Every structure is written in structure tokens, then in C-alpha cells.
Amino acid sequence: MSVSDESLAAVLDDVARRLRAGESPRLNDVVASHPEHASDLQELWGTLLLAEDLASNPVELDSDSFVLPAGSGAADLPRVVGDYELIEELGRGGMGIVYLARQISLNRAVAVKMILRGELASPADVARFRAEAESAARLEHPNIVAIYDVGEDEGRPYFSMQHVPGTTLGRKLLDGPLPPREAAALLVPVCRAIAHAHRRGILHRDLKPSNVLIDPHGCPFVTDFGLAKRLRGDEPASAAGQHPTITRSGDILGTPGYIAPEQAAGDRGEITPATDVYSLGAILYAAITGRAPFQSASPVDTLLMVLEQDPPPPRLLNPQADVDLELIALKALQKPADLRYASADALADDLEAYLNHESISARSSHFSQILSRAFRPTHHAAILRHWGRLWMLHALVLLILCLVTNVVQLRGVTSRWPYALLWTVGLGTWAAVFWNLRRRSGPVTFVERQIAHVWAASMACSTMLFAVEAALGLPVLALSPVLPLIAGGVFVVKAGILSGEFYIPAAALFATSLPMALWPQYGLTLFGIVSALTFFVPGLKFHREQNRRTRASSGG
């Protein structure tokens, strides 16, 4: 482990210790104290908060019935709470416990949800619990569980809601994936319900199969708005006249297997209606495969998969999955939010088109859409912020190496050894310096290791040209026009892994090979200028972006 890695680990350990001690350290304050780790702290902050939260509250996130310590909110039944006689416990989750109850005044069956921790609940827990009731109460839709009443019993808030007998989609999927048309028909009203919530200015943020109730007639109902967020900033004010703080900066909220990448990114992600569209796509994926798009041994590993990987194609997990339904699910699960369905209604429209045997928009292949997708950054593009200054240095090294080689060539040196020595030792030394400098900026990611292997292969190809020239009896540097073809190939790989913008420098490098062949006496200078620009221009862009992020994090 490098000195930089050890320093970052020490900072993270200190933050974890403070979290376990009950403190609430702020990301901006930590970054201001350790600006050398700004980018890594921004990337790891949300994951660290989630890991510590899971360590202190070990609940099973994806189950329908959470197992909690004795005395954590259970009540002697039956008992009366306000106008309600609690009859039996229906289930419990991370925040509340739900009872089947009889509303005494109307003599009807209802569900009553009470805050789980009782007198031990923090102000944030109470605020979040009340926010659930208030958010759901604003919504009137036939497929959203209705809120009837909000009250308090011995200082413990509760609310009553529509009782939906039956099961949940989560329990239903324990028996395996649903038939394709049943899955689509079930998701249509769920999508319409969420679209209604969005029009009312409310995001759910915790959509998953266990939050979809299914009555005996097969009708679905969306429930559990405990993590709901209002889009218009009209949260109810506290007694002090301020909005209650329900989430901390950098919190990751939701269930790891079903949250969107922007939720998994904590502070770096912008939560919008597209976030719920992603979760709807994840529910559809689970309905046709029997499992979440991402699942791993631990929630943190699952979050990293959400951020860095694409889900397995549904038909790989369930060969009976319908092709069109697979396309619909994968479109909703796109990591760039603007590539998903524009709204939950648009997702429902495509599901209805599928049910009516009509053409679905997920099959759309307009040239403009293909071009847009080809040139956009991938979810791996975040690593580029580490490369800005290094790529500008790399541009300088390449230019110097090519100019020196051209000068030696113009002086009439025909022996291969000076050139071979210059390129093998020169490039090898710089590669070692480059990655050493990169490691000082933080841990090297898996994707960067892939790029390093491609770069190493291109260096090997470049130096092997001298041996090929000798074997063919060609003059030294006769094969130098091949250099931009090798370099262009590396940029095509970067375009596929990182960002489509690298197709442009790839094309520029490919085009350089022909003039190098036509004017060999100046070919290396031309290659040096073009290749230096292909690194310097994006490097300057990444460097400026990183500086802006650092200033924003430190409040500067």
C-alpha cells in the first residue's frame, strides 16, 4: 500500500470512528481538512456512511419481514391506540412496525404503522416517519395505499392506512419469475401510480418488490413512502421555522439491489423522477428473472456493482424471458438517466404496447439516438478526473520523444539501436513514473488496470516494429506510419470503456498514418503533434473539472 493509500485509509478510519461515536461529520469539512483526498472522499463517502449504518443496524434489507432484537417495538396484543384496536403484527422494517387493526368508530379493518424505536427514536427518525405519512397522504390513486389518519400514542407517532390483504411481489417472486405477460400487466398500474406521485411532486426513492402489495384479485398497490422526497422544496417546517433535516449529506437511501446509480453515488448523484424509473425497471427485471439486477454477498459490494457494472441480460438468467420485455427492463436500467424512459408513464406506455402486441419504443433505433449513445460517457468515465494533469504531462513526453526521434533521423542515423533504446527505455521509464504518480492520487480502479494493459500492449507493439523492420529487411522507421494506427486503436478501446468522445482523437490518429507515409522525413514530428494534442486537450478538460469539484467540495 502506498503512502497516499495509507493516508486515505487513516482518514476513512477516523470518519468511521466518529460515526460510531454518534457524530455526524460533514463531507465538506472532511475534504477541507484533507484536500489531497478530495476526489476519493467524494467517491467513497456515501458507501462509508452506508457501511457504518449497516454495521450499527444489522437488518436484512431485501426481506419482507425484518428480524430485530427483542423489545424493539413489539406490543402486547390486542391493545388500543387511539381509535384503533391492534390485532396482530403484519410486518416490520427499518423504521416502522405495521399492525392489522380494527378502526373502532367505523368498525373496519385497517393497517396501523407505528415508529419502531419508540422513545429511542431520534429526531431524524421521527421526521422521516412523519414525512412518510405526509407524502403518502398527498396522493390519491387507486394503486397507492391510502392514508386515513395520523396520530400519536404516548409520544409515539403512528398513522393508519388502507389494509391490503394478500401478499407482496417480493414474497410472490420467492416462487420464481412471473410469466412475461403477467409481469408486464402487474407493472403497468405500479408505473401509473408512481407517475401520479411524480406529478404531485413526490419521489418514492425506495421502490422494490416488497413495497408492492398484491391483493387477492391480483391488483398491485404501492406502499412505504418512508424515503419519499418532495420535488418542490415544500417540506413542512419545524417548530423553529426551519425544514427538518431528514437526510445527511452523502446518505445513500434505498435498498442496494434496486437503487439507481445516482442514489448509490451519494453526494455525486442528482435524484430525479428518472431515479424511480430505474427502480421500476429493477422491479420489472426481478419479475422476469426472479432476482434483483445486482446482488452480492454484502450491500456495499452490491452498491459497487450498481455503480460500475451492467446487469446480466434477463434471458441469461431466465431463458423463457420475453425479448421485448427484456429490452424494456434494460432501457429503464440505463445508468445515464437521460437514456431511461422519460417518465414512469412512458415506461407504462411501452409495457401496454407490449401487452397489445404493438411496437415498443425500446426497440427504437433512430440514427440520432445511436449517435448520441455512441459518443456519451460511460459510467466508468468518473475515473478520468484522476488523469487530467497526468495526460498533460504524457502529451509533453510524447511530443519530446517524437521530436528527438525525428532529429536523430534527419541527422542520418540508420542504426536501429539508438531508436530502439530511445523508445523502449524512454517509454518504459515514463510508464513507471506515470503510474506511480497516479497511485499517489488514490487507489487504482479495476477499469484503470484494464486501460493500463491496453497501453502496455500498444507500447510493446510500437517497440516490436523495430524487430519487424529488421526481419523484413526494411530501413529503420519504415513502419513508423503504423504508430498512429496502434495509438488510434487504443483510443477506440478508451471510447468503448470510458467515453465516446475518444472516437474523435482515434479518427485523427488514423488519418495521420497516410501523411506520415507520404512525407516520412517529417512523419514522427507530425505524429508527435497529433498524439500530444489527443492527450493534452482532454487532459486539460479533466484537470479543470477536478479543480472545480475540489473548490466546490471545500466551499471555495
**Does the N-terminal peptide bond of residue 481 adopt cis geometry, omega within 30 degrees of 0?**
no
- Give CA–CA dist 234/483, Å, rounded: 60
Q: φ and ψ at 235, to 5 degrees? A: -60, 150
Cell 420535488 -> residue: 231
Q: Quick one: cell of 165? A: 390483504
Q: φ and ψ at 198, to 5 degrees? A: -65, -40
Q: Other C-beta atoms within 10 Å of 225: how many? A: 26
Note if 206 is an active site residue: yes
Cell 507515409 -> residue: 517
Strands of 79-81's sheet in order across: 79-81, 84-92, 96-103, 108-115, 156-162, 147-153
Question: In which element (H, E) is residue 81 found?
Answer: strand 79-81
Answer whether 356's CB lies under 8 Å from 324's CB: no
Q: 166: alpha, beta or left, given left = phi > 0 and alpha = psi -120 to 50?
A: left
- Give CA–CA dist 230/211, Å, rounded: 19
CA distances from 272 to 204, 215, 305, 337, 362 (A): 10, 30, 21, 9, 21
**Does the N-terminal peptide bond of residue 78 adopt cis geometry, omega within 30 degrees of 0?**
yes
Question: In which element (H, E) is residue 281 found?
Answer: helix 273-289
Q: Quick one: cell of 80? A: 388500543
Q: Which of 40, 64, 125, 206 is catalytic?
A: 206
Identify which of 173, 207, 178 has the alpha carbon closest to the alpha carbon of residue 191. Answer: 207
**Concatenated DSSP letters of 93-123:** -SSEEEEEEEETTTTEEEEEEEESSGGG--H
Question: In which element (H, E) is residue 86 found?
Answer: strand 84-92
Identify which of 10, 41, 4 has the alpha carbon closest to the alpha carbon of residue 26. Answer: 41
* Residue 43 CA, distance from chain mean position: 11
Answer whether 149's CB lies under 8 Å from 160's CB: yes
- Give CA–CA dist 276/292, Å, rounded: 15
Beta strands in 4-59 (DSSP E): none
- Give CA–CA dist 25/289, Å, rounded: 40
> In this structure, what DSSP letter does residue 58 have?
-
- Give CA–CA dist 135/147, Å, rounded: 10
Any idea which residues carry the catalytic annotation? Answer: 206
